Amino acid sequence: MNRQSFLNLISREGLALLDSVGAIESKTDVLKLVSDLRKQGHNPELVGDVLTQVKLRRKAEAKFGDFAKHMIFTQSGLEQASRLQVAAIHAGRFRSAGLKHIADLGCGIGAESLALASLDLTVSAFELDEVTAAVATYNLANLSNVTVEQEDVTKIDLSKYDGLFLDPARRDERKRKFDPLDFTPDYNFVLATAATKPTIVKLGPGMDHDLIPDEAEAVWVSVDGELVEVGLYFGTVKRADVSRAALLITSSGFHELTSPNRARLDAELGELGEYIYEPDNSIIRSHLLGDLAGQLGLNIFAPEIAYLTGSSVDSPWLRKYKLLESLPFDRKKLKAYLKSLDVGPLEIKKRGADITPEQLRRELNLKGSKPATIIVTRVQDQHRVLVVEPVKQ
């Protein structure tokens, strides 16, 4: 979004048009809607800005719920913005530590500041990009305990703040940034700043473990199975007995697995059992698979392959499958086997196998009526196909 688009949206005409258009359903004839709006005399540029914003609001509902209906978004800002339920966890850490005045360094469109202010914390939010800062100002305008300033966070005097929140920009309107030194602000600044005060740092969940300092508590967060972040906690917002954690948020509640150790514990290697289990990605990325396997009496069946196996257990961390057959990975034999079962719709999962599920599905070309699920993976040192049946828990 550029400056003029933002001004268009917050103009009296723009806000009125946003309200009148409302939510666009998938079945809405967008071309006809555009034509009708232009016939009503609305500027084509404004119409385009409004329709883009309506689509972003619909997408934002997954993160912001009903709040999305009254917010302004940029594409990159929405992609990096925290879900409010996760931002509330960050805010709760600050409040539990007795901290009152928090600096949100790189506030984006304002998600974290919204959560912080909702817990009655005083928030000073800073954002380098002019348009993004303006968007945050709009989104936080109804909160008297938040101020937003356009500022380079590397040049701010941070001495007056009790705690700091950092969410370095890892993408722009064009591409995602993978090198931490390309973040804005860069990772060196982030770590140096975190060493000065109680600090929470939000990063992408694929962050290399070797780049996480030993003094930080690292929490990988999954929301309904989608891995969304790793949060690093420093100082008094860090739990003394936790080095690594996996946090799973579902409709049934919050589930957490923690470890006091930085070193990874590997799961035991063993034989295939009656059931196959696919762990939540937060367990895999936090390197807590061995801890979970030990608790549940499960094992892996191939080195470095993140599936578990064993007898029947139920766990919110695991997707459960009953093992029906273990076959050598031979495409012709696999096709014949599935065809004999009258298989048509086929779910293909893979781990440790150099295949493309879409391509394999085309090669098998199944025409049957019954659904099936297969896992193409390694068992010990052999490539195998595990025919499985999902089990509801």
- 194's enclosing H/E stretch is helix 187-194
Q: How confident is residue 72, by pLDDT bands cut at 50, 70 and 90? A: very high
- 278, β-bridge pairs: 319
What was the pLDDT predicted at 27? 54
The C-alpha atoms of residue 90 and residue 132 are separated, in whole angstroms, by 21
Q: Report the chain's mean pLDDT, rounded to a whole number.
A: 94
Residue 310 corresponds to which tokens in the numbers above? 């064993």
What was the pLDDT predicted at 25? 62
The pTM (predicted TM-score) of the whole model is 0.92
What mean pLDDT is predicted for residues 161-187?
Answer: 88
Mind listing the pLDDT tens digit for each residue in 2-51?
999 999 999 999 999 888 886 666 556 677 777 878 888 788 899 889 98
CATH architecture, range 78-259: 3-Layer(aba) Sandwich (3.40)
Nearest to 200 by CA among 183, 185, 219: 219
- The proportion of the chain whose per-residue pLDDT surpasses 70, expressed as a percent, equals 97
> With 0-12 CB in 10 A as exposed, 13-18 as middle and 19+ as buried, what is 377?
buried
Give the full edge-to-edge strand order of the sheet including 163-166. 146-150, 122-127, 101-105, 163-166, 199-203, 226-234, 217-223, 244-250, 253-259
The C-alpha atoms of residue 187 and residue 211 are separated, in whole angstroms, by 9
What was the pLDDT predicted at 70? 92
Q: How confident is residue 261, by pLDDT bands cut at 50, 70 and 90? A: very high
Q: Are 223 and 62 contacting, i.e. CB atoms less than 8 angstroms apart?
A: no
166 Cβ partners below 8 Å, 6+ apart? Answer: 105, 106, 153, 185, 190, 193, 194, 199, 200, 201, 202
CB atoms within 10 A of CB 276: 27
**Range in 54-63, 196-205, 299-308 with the lowest mean pLDDT:** 54-63
Q: Which residue is it, tokens 């086997």? A: 337
Q: Are 143 and 117 contacting, i.e. CB atoms less than 8 angstroms apart?
A: yes
CA 262 to chain centre: 23
The C-alpha atoms of residue 79 and residue 90 are separated, in whole angstroms, by 18
What mean pLDDT is predicted for residues 203-209?
Answer: 95
Q: Which residue is it, tokens 């016939």? A: 39
Q: How confident is residue 169, by pLDDT bands cut at 50, 70 and 90? A: confident
- 188's enclosing H/E stretch is helix 187-194
The C-alpha atoms of residue 108 and residue 128 are separated, in whole angstroms, by 9
Mind listing the pLDDT tens digit for each residue in 358-376?
999 999 999 999 999 999 9
Mind listing the pLDDT tens digit for each residue in 308-357?
999 999 999 999 999 999 999 999 999 999 999 999 999 999 999 999 99
Q: Are 49 and 73 contacting, i.e. CB atoms less than 8 angstroms apart?
A: no
Q: Is 16 helix (H, G, I), strand (E, B) or coil?
A: helix
What mean pLDDT is predicted for residues 197-226?
Answer: 96
What mean pLDDT is predicted for residues 63-85?
Answer: 93
In this structure, what are the phi and psi dihedrals at residue 107, rounded to the nearest 5 degrees?
-75, -10
What mean pLDDT is predicted for residues 270-277?
Answer: 97
Nearest to 351 by CA among 379, 330, 324, 327: 379
3-state secondary structure 90-113: HHHHHHHCCCCEEEEECCCCCHHH
